[in-house]
């Protein structure tokens, strides 16, 4: 008897607001779909028609280069009409709230809104007020689900697996939505996750997220398979979290000497934008173990997979 073909992957959610709440099966499904998008993106003809006729709005209340442009490319590769809206200081100064903006955009009948906002929870709030699918492209220090998915895809392609790997997430964990989403996702897929930072940059009770906390790079990187650096988020700091950038680099900046604590075949990642000479040295960022460019490529693929997964739940379907 022939085996039953496995049923096609169906993503059951209308929105992607975070990694929290996704099952390992759903994460694996998105990663498998992303692999197909990588192959498609490497062809001359890169377009599909999954989102033909659909309108995607990228609503960014916070600056972004790679996230916004990769959502734009992803939407266009799937055939959507993509509009970028950067809500800078201007309309916020006029007193318009997130919910007013949401109501205005909703009246234009979009099918997908991709949102980045500086306040944790703002994207989920907006999702309650619109009729279309919403993707969280980063909300305050809360979550950045597509970043965690693209990081997982990058690791999986480099290492062949995620389960059982030791991943050290280093730096400004306190202010990082990237760290939060990665911790949740990597735990769901069976990695061992460490965070490495000075005490001032670790959230209280971080161990409850399922990580071990380390205060030195020597200890935190020992034998690690993946070293994930985070940007020092100076714009979110309203106090003195680090004595000086120079001192921070001396203790927590990743250079070749500190990378030597990790496993001999360890890979290095950074979500960007990088502060060279602050959290990472150029010799490492541009070195042979760096996956930073791969992360950017995987970013487009993962966002295509996410948009495609949500396309089953779009209005009028
Ligand atoms: C991150 C972000 O904005 O959350 N960057 C990104 O999405 N590529 C990390 C950061 O800003 O440091």
Q: Is the pLDDT of residue 316 over 90?
A: no
Q: Which of 115, 147, 285 to mutate to test the pocket of ligand 1 (most atoms within 8 A of CB)?
A: 147
pLDDT confidence bin for 93, thresholds 50/70/90: low
Instruction: Please report, for residues 47, 82, 173, 222, the alpha-carbon distance to residue 148 in angstroms, rounded to integers and kept in the order given.
Output: 25, 23, 14, 23
pLDDT confidence bin for 312, thresholds 50/70/90: confident
Q: Is the pLDDT of residue 86 over 60?
A: yes
Nearest ligand 1 atom to alpha carbon 299: 8
What integer is the mean pLDDT of 11-29? Answer: 97
pLDDT confidence bin for 241, thresholds 50/70/90: confident
**Ligand 1 pocket, 66 CB below 6 A?**
yes
Q: Is the pLDDT of residue 240 over 80?
A: no
Q: Which of 68, 86, 118, 144 to mutate to test the pocket of ligand 1 (most atoms within 8 A of CB)?
A: 144
**Ligand 1 pocket, 272 CB below 6 A?**
yes
pLDDT confidence bin for 67, thresholds 50/70/90: very high
Q: What is the pLDDT of residues 190-218, one digit of tens each?
A: 999 999 999 999 999 999 999 999 999 99
Q: What is the pLDDT of residues 122-169, one digit of tens each?
A: 999 999 999 999 999 999 999 999 999 999 999 999 999 999 999 999
**Ligand 1 pocket, 117 CB below 6 A?**
no
pLDDT score for 269:
98
**Dist. CA 193–CA 182, nearest whole Å:** 9
Q: Which residues are known binding-site members for L-aspartate?
A: 94, 177, 231
**Ligand 1 pocket, 271 CB below 6 A?**
yes
- Burial class of 187 by CB neighbour count within 10 A (0 to 12, 13 to 18, 19+): middle
**Dist. CA 288–CA 198, nearest whole Å:** 28
Nearest ligand 1 atom to alpha carbon 116: 3
- Strand 226-229's sheet: what is its strand order? 212-214, 192-196, 166-170, 226-229, 267-269
**What's the gap in Å between 291 CA and the centre of ligand 1?**
16
Residue 146 in contact with residue 302, Cβ under 8 Å? yes
Nearest ligand 1 atom to alpha carbon 231: 12
**What's the gap in Å between 116 CA and the centre of ligand 1?**
10
**What's the gap in Å between 225 CA and the centre of ligand 1?**
22
Q: Is the pLDDT of residue 2 over 80?
A: no
pLDDT score for 252:
97
**Ligand 1 pocket, 214 CB below 6 A?**
no
- Strand 112-117's sheet: what is its strand order? 81-86, 55-60, 112-117, 133-139
What integer is the mean pLDDT of 261-282? Answer: 97
pLDDT score for 4:
67
**What's the gap in Å between 248 CA and the centre of ligand 1?**
19
pLDDT score for 84:
95
Q: Is the peptide bond before 273 cis (omega within 30 degrees of 0)?
A: yes
pLDDT score for 92:
62
Q: Is the pLDDT of residue 262 over 80?
A: yes
**What's the gap in Å between 2 CA and the centre of ligand 1?**
47
With pLDDT > 90 as the criterion, what percentage of the chain qualifies?
85
What integer is the mean pLDDT of 223-248? Answer: 88
**What's the gap in Å between 230 CA and the centre of ligand 1?**
9
- Calculate the average pLDDT of the chain: 94
pLDDT confidence bin for 235, thresholds 50/70/90: confident
Q: Which of 231, 276, 278 to mutate to test the pocket of ligand 1 (most atoms within 8 A of CB)?
A: 231
- For residue 60, what are its two tokens? 């960014």
Higher-pLDDT residue of 243, 82: 82
pLDDT score for 185:
98
């Amino acid at each position: 008897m022939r085996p039953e073909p496995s049923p096609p992957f169906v993503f059951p959610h209308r929105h992607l607001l975070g990694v929290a709440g996704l099952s390992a099966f759903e994460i694996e499904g998105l990663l498998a779909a992303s692999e197909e998008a990588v192959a498609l993106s490497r062809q001359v003809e890169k377009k599909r028609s999954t989102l033909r006729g659909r309108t995607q709005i990228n609503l960014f209340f916070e600056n972004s280069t790679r996230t916004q442009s990769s959502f734009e490319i992803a939407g266009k590769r799937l055939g959507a009409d993509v509009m970028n809206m950067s809500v800078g200081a201007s309309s916020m100064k006029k007193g318009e709230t997130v919910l007013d903006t949401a109501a205005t955009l909703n009246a234009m009948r979009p099918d997908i809104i991709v949102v980045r906002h500086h306040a944790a929870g703002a994207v989920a709030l907006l999702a309650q007020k619109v009729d279309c699918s919403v993707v969280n492209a980063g909300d305050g220090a809360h979550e950045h689900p597509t970043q965690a998915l693209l990081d997982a895809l990058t690791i999986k392609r480099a290492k062949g697996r995620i389960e059982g790997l030791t991943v050290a997430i280093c730096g400004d964990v306190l202010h990082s939505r990237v760290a939060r989403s990665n911790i949740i996702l990597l735990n769901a897929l069976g990695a061992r996750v460490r965070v490495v930072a000075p005490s001032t940059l670790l959230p209280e009770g971080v161990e409850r997220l399922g990580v071990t906390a380390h205060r030195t790079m020597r200890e935190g990187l020992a034998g690690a398979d993946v070293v994930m650096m985070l940007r020092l988020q100076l714009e979110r700091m309203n106090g003195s979290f680090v004595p000086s950038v120079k001192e921070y680099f001396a203790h927590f900046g990743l250079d070749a000497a500190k990378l030597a604590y990790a496993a001999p075949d360890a890979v290095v990642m950074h979500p960007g934008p990088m502060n060279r000479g602050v959290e990472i040295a150029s010799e490492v960022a541009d070195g042979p173990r760096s996956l930073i460019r791969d992360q950017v490529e995987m970013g487009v693929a993962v966002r295509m997979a996410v948009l495609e997964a949500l396309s089953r739940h779009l209005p009028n379907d």
